[in-house]
Amino acid sequence: MITDLAARRVEQVEVFASATNEAVIRMVARQAPGAVRERDGATVTYSFPTPAGQLPVGPPSVAMEVRRVVA
């Protein structure tokens, strides 16, 4: 997901979740261990940049798939 966001030129990601949501905690720890965490009561917001090395130089390429329809 982070690579897809970087490909779409999203530079900053914010993840808003319940402070006890362990799935989100693990995901952020894996994808962005340096994320800034702001806790507000029962919720938490993680903020981190997308990896600059994954930003494409040009427009994203579009793959075209040939489809055949037999009637």
67 within some domain: no
**Confidence class for position 71, pLDDT limits 50, 70, 90:** very low
* Beta-bridge partner residues of 38: 45
Q: What angle do CA 43, 48, 50 make, to 5 degrees?
A: 140
For range 14-29, the mean pLDDT: 93
Site of tokens 């690579």: 3
Q: Residue 12, exposed/middle/buried by CB under 10 A (0-12, 13-18, 19+)?
A: exposed
70 within some domain: no
pLDDT at 27 over 70: yes
Q: pTM higher than 0.75, yes or no?
A: no
37 within some domain: yes
Sign, Cα dihedral of 57, 60, 1, 10: positive
The residue segments making up the domain with residue 41 are: 2-54
